[in-house]
Each structure stands twice: as C-alpha cells, then as structure tokens.
Structure 1
Amino acid sequence: MDTEHSPHHKTVAILSRGDATARRDATPQNSRFIRVFEALSAVGIEARPVVYDEAFADAVRNELLAVDGVLVWVDPIHQGKTRSALDPLLREIAAQGPWVSADPDIILKMGVKEVLYRTRHLGWGGDTHRYDSADAFRIEFPSRLRAGGPRVIKQNRGNGGQGVWKVEALPDTDTEVRVLHALRGSRPEEMPLDSFIARCESYFGWGGCIIDQAFQPRLPEGMIRCYMSGSKVAGFGHQLIKALMPPPAEGPDAPEAQPGSRMMHGPDASLFQTLRRSMEDKWTPQLMETLDIDEASLPVIWDADFLYGPRDSAGADTHVLCEINASSCFAIPDEAPAAIARTVKDRILQNQRAGSG
C-alpha cells in the first residue's frame, strides 16, 4: 500500500523562517526541533521541515497544501521582517483543509500584548492600560507616569524585548524621564518625555496599540514561563532576567548584561503546582471565555510568562502576567515534545472529522 495516500498516514509540516540555503539543507536531524520530530514520529505522524521566506512563498504554499497539519514557529519580528505576508498565507492554507497551529487569528487574540489589558480582571492581572492612538498616549501617559511610579510600555506585537521599555520620571521634573529598552545590550537613557513618546508613535502602525503596565519591583527574582499544550501545562522554566534591569556598571567599557540560563522543569515540579492549578483550573478557561477561543483552537504550544507580584496577606506569592508567546514558543522543557505530539494527533483527527462531516 502507498502509505503517502493511506487514510491512516498523517503528515505535518514544521514551518520556520530562513533563507534559501536553510531551505535547501533542512532535515529533521539538523533542525532545532529535532525532539519534536522524534515525538511526532513516535505517535505515527510524519513531520517535514519547511523553511519560509517571502521570496519563495509560492513553493511553501504548495508544500503546506500537501500535508494534514502545519506547526508554525515564526517570530512576529525577525531581522526587520514581520508576519504580514505569512499570516494571510496561513489563513489561505487553513481554509483549504490543513489544520494550522497557531492560527494567525488566535495569535491576534492571545499572543499580543493587548491580552494583558483584555484579561486584566483575571487573577494574573494588575495595573494595566491600553492606548489606541498616539494622541491618547501623548495625553494620558504623562499623568499616569507621575502618579504611579515606573511603568513598562509594550508595543502590541514583538519579541526579544523589541518595543518594551521601562520608563521612570526623573526627580524634581515633570518633563524628563529615564528609559531602558528591554532589547539585549540596551543601556539607560535620559531624555525629554515628549521625545520618548514620539519614539513610540511607530508602534501604532502594525501593532495597533500600546500597553502600559506598572513595573514589578520583584523583577530581580526572575520570570516563570509556564508552557502550555492546548489547555494543559507541559512544563515550566525559571530564569533570572536582565531585561529592564540596569547594567551593573556604566560607561563604554562596562560588560554587556546577559540573560541568566533558564532552568527547565516538568509539569509535575512541586515548586510550581499552585501556578499549575491556577493555569489549568481557572486562568486558561477564563482566558478562553474572555477572548472567545474554544479549546480546540488553543495553540499546540504556547507559554504564559509571569513575574512575581506583591505577596498576599498570608505571605504567599502572587503572579502577574507579563506576556503570552504563541507565535514561536521555543526552547521548551524536555517533557513538552511528547505533549505537543499528543495534542497534534488529537487536533488532526478532530480537523478531519470536522471536514468529513
């Protein structure tokens, strides 16, 4: 029997961005997703690497139409390129039959900074505001900054710290601020507040809005990354981060701050079981209800990044959501590839049953 056309033979494309050389040389064995390829194979799914760039989008389209599902690992911004051409292509693919994760429209609901504002009423929320225009930002932000202490400004779509700024008013002035970009290697700058506001105006283009959160003083204690496959926790990562922290020394000879290594943990790690229960039992269902997302549409792999918030009256930790990653969630814990494979298998079967119905 020709297994390629067997109804029991399932194929998945693992889509990532790269140039023509990367496309030519791509194999499961030399891919950074090799453990995902192996896990998919273990559940009977053939996975194929597909490398995307706008220059050969038509060839990619033909490859994606030939598989049962597409797993997408493409950042919102990469070396100046956005997903403005890729997202319509993925919508086109999904409309013609193959199942796609994460769906671009789901990313626009949960994988953007606006989700911090839309879900601020959940237990992970906090002092969060949204500016829908440059005029609103210019009018509302200065008084909020003066009244509430340091703020964190975030462009709606981005990755790697791009468009994320800590902003604090300088003492004895209403017009000067100190800002620090979360992009690696950035150093504090002092400038007029009007100049910083003007610098951020471009964020209202592709992203559409700016999100403003209170700075969390417990940032030096690190960030907890809760990895999810669908609605279930697939693991955790804990990292001491340098972003939005001042460098240890000033001057041109100061060493560049580097992020700390992320310690990975499985879903059963005892240290994070309170957070796991909150994510699985409360926050993810509430997220789905708030954003009108059904469980079958949740990304196969996504993560929610938390900072430590103020301790509660009993002295227990609280957690404040600072980002959800749904476009390109990687690296992942050792336990996550198997969770991805199980979810992929279930989703492809669901998609095919829906298509035959």
Structure 2
Amino acid sequence: MKKVIFFEVQSGSDKGPDGYRPDTMPMVEALKQREQDAEVIFFELEKRDEIFNYVKDNAVAYVSRINPGNLAHEAEYFEMLRELCAAGVVGMPHPDAMIGYGAKDALVKLRHTSLVPEDTYAYYTIEEFKATFPKSLANGERVLKQNRGSTGEGIWRVQLVDELEDGDLVVPLNAKIKCTEAKDNHVEYHELDAFMSFCEQYIVGANGMLVDMPFLPRIKEGEIRLFMLRNKPINVVHKKPADDADAFSATLFSGAQYRYDSPDDWITLVHGFLGQLDEVTSLLGGYDLPLIWTADFILDTDENGQDTYILGEMNCSCVGFTSELELAHNVAEEILACINETVLV
C-alpha cells in the first residue's frame, strides 16, 4: 500500500515538543486507524531530489503542513510539489492552489462577485500604490493588507484625522492619518506621504503586494471563519475583537475572543458561500479545492438594510486546528475520499 506523506520543515514557532506541528501526528494516527499508512517527511533543500524520488515511488498523496513563514526555499519546495503532482501523486493542495486561494489578491479576483466590494484594489508596484491610494482613501476608511506576514502583521486600518474639503477627490500627501495595525491594535499617526513610503516594504521583493479594501465597521461584531475540508464546512470560529475603541484585529494575540460554532449556526452564510463556490474556484484558477482551508467573513449591511457577508481573507497553505484536534478524524476521512475520487477516475 502506498503512503500518505505529510510534509513539514524542521523548527519554527508552530512546532510542539516532539518537533512536529501539534495537528500533524493526530492526522497520521487517524489515517493509520483507517488502515492507510502515513508518515512525515521534513523538507530540506539539500535532500530535494532524494525526497522527490522517495515520495514519487512510495506515496499515493501528499499533505503539505508547512507554514510559508518557516520555509526558506518556498519556490524550490513548490516546484517539487508540482513535479510530484505531474508524476501522479495526489496533491493536497496543489502548490498553485495554495497561491490562488491563499494570496491576498484573491480578493481582487473576486471583486465582481457579491463576496468582495468593487472598490478593492491590488498594488504590485510602488508607483500604482502611490497613484491610487490617495484617491481610494478620499472615499472613506481603508484597510491595507500585505501579502506576506501573519497574525495581523502588516494589516493597517487607515483613517483621515481631518475631513476633506467638499469636492476633494484625492487626499493631500501632507494629510494627517491615523493608522492602526491589526497585529496588536497599536495606533500611529503619520502624514500620508510618509506612511506610503513606509508601506513600500510590503510591495518590494518576492510575492510583494498590497491589497486595499474598504474598512468594514461591523468587524467589531466579530469575524466569522469557515473551516473548510474541500467543499464541506466543518467548523465555524467567531472571532470578536477586543472592546478597545481602536481594536479591529480578530487574532488571539491582539486580545480577540474566540467562540466555536456549528456551521448550522451560520446557515445563511454557509449556503450563500457554497452557492458561489464553483464561481470562486473558476475565478481563482480552476484548481481543486484545498484539503484544509478557511474563509473569513465580516458582516456588512446592504442597500436594503439587510445583513450581508464580505469575504476578508482566505488561507490554505497550512491552516491549523490545534484547538480542536478531534477534527483530525474528519480530515482523515476527507483525505481518503479525495484519494478514492482521484485514483479511481
């Protein structure tokens, strides 16, 4: 019987005392309980060819459990995964699906759906950022999100300190702005020009970009995270920011309160999102849905005064579930279902 290989890397803040991510070995054991052999391999660039050949010859599927922040050689790792998929190993997920669903500019690709506001932009160059952001900020509070980073780092709520004059369509470069970072909800005050220069660091370098979208004040009511196994919502995490007036971050580190719900408690959101999932998949490249991924939503109000849900982010590179390790059994069942669907075609 061929194995399911779980990829990890050595070290990193996401590891338990045994050197593995806390949610990896529960999945391995859950598969073994179902008579499916599985093992963990630590990716090392120096052993890339050895690892590739071993997995190609011995694995029916791989599951990537590497946090990109812990991966020094992401391009080489992704290229190995592409080659494994081309060789017939079932990818969970395919590396291009990780990029398609996980990159912040996925929001821009979906802005013509009801999931994302039309005035959502991606900046890939400093020039387009500096040309467009003063115009978008003139329309109201904005949120800037870097593509790299995690736990709210490089996600900024940007507000004008003083209102614009009537008819002004562009914020002056010397305008005072209030900037709150989601990492810890700390506040800084800058002139717009200086802050945009500071943000250049998020655009330069590999995978650099900034996403610019409207700030949604109902984030104070909480962010709703759908925990997905392919096309199945398994769990919902309601993440309510701290009560501080400036707090808008929904991370534990920033003081948000988490509540775990059933998808049945959010049936309107779930049905609405699943109803658009085929379109989402098509717009993001047509790749198979990731094995484990999340979609984060924020409440908004439509023109009729009705609740609507706005997609704020998706993650799929290495979504953890250490707070609810019993979900490892759900994941194991989904892995086996995916293998059976793919191998039997």
TM-score band by shorter chain is 0.7 to 0.9
> RMSD of the alignment, in Å?
3.1
What's the counterpart of residue 99 of structure 1? 90
1:37 aligns with 2:25: no
What's the counterpart of residue 234 of structure 1? 234
Selected match of 2:277 from 267, 275, 284: 284
Q: Secondary structure at the match of 1:238?
A: strand
Alignment of 1:176-187 (within 5 A): 176-183=176-183, 185=184, 187=186
Q: Secondary structure at the match of 2:6?
A: strand
Alignment of 1:138-287 (within 5 A): 138-146=130-138, 148-171=139-162, 174=172, 175=174, 176-183=176-183, 185=184, 187-204=186-203, 205-242=205-242, 246=246, 258-267=254-263, 269=264, 271-280=265-274, 282-287=275-280
Q: Deviations over 1:70-122 (max 9, x none)?
A: 111222323x8462332122222222332221211112212111111111122
Tell me the distance in 2 between the aligned counterparts of 1:150 and 1:351.
46
Q: Secondary structure at the match of 2:329?
A: helix
What is the count of residue pairs matched by the alignment?
327
In structure 2, relative to structure 1, the CA distance for the partners of 1:212 and 1:24 (3 Å cut) is closer
Alignment of 1:52-71 (within 5 A): 52-54=43-45, 57=48, 60-65=51-56, 66-71=58-63
Selected match of 1:307 from 276, 293, 298: 298
Q: Deviations over 1:32-89 (max 9, x none)?
A: 33432343234332221223354654554455333211111222323x8462332122
8 Å CA contact 1:178, 1:190 repeated in 2: yes
Tell me the distance in 2 between the aligned counterparts of 1:244 and 1:69.
46
- How far residue 16 of structure 1 moved from its aligned partner, in angstroms, is 2.4
- How far residue 151 of structure 1 moved from its aligned partner, in angstroms, is 0.6
What's the counterpart of residue 3 of structure 1? none
Q: Secondary structure at the match of 2:127?
A: helix
Q: Secondary structure at the match of 1:97?
A: coil
Q: Look up the equivalent residue of 2:220 and give its one-letter code.
A: P
What's the counterpart of residue 10 of structure 2? 18
In structure 2, relative to structure 1, the CA distance for the partners of 1:25 and 1:337 (3 Å cut) is closer
What's the counterpart of residue 135 of structure 1? 127
Q: Look up the equivalent residue of 1:274 and give its one-letter code.
A: T
Unaligned ranges ≥5, structure 1 = 1-8, 249-255
Q: Look up the equivalent residue of 1:33 and give its one-letter code.
A: T
The structure 1 segments of at least 4 consecutive aligned residues displaced by more than 6 Å after TM superposition are none
8 Å CA contact 1:304, 1:321 repeated in 2: yes
Unaligned ranges ≥5, structure 2 = 165-171
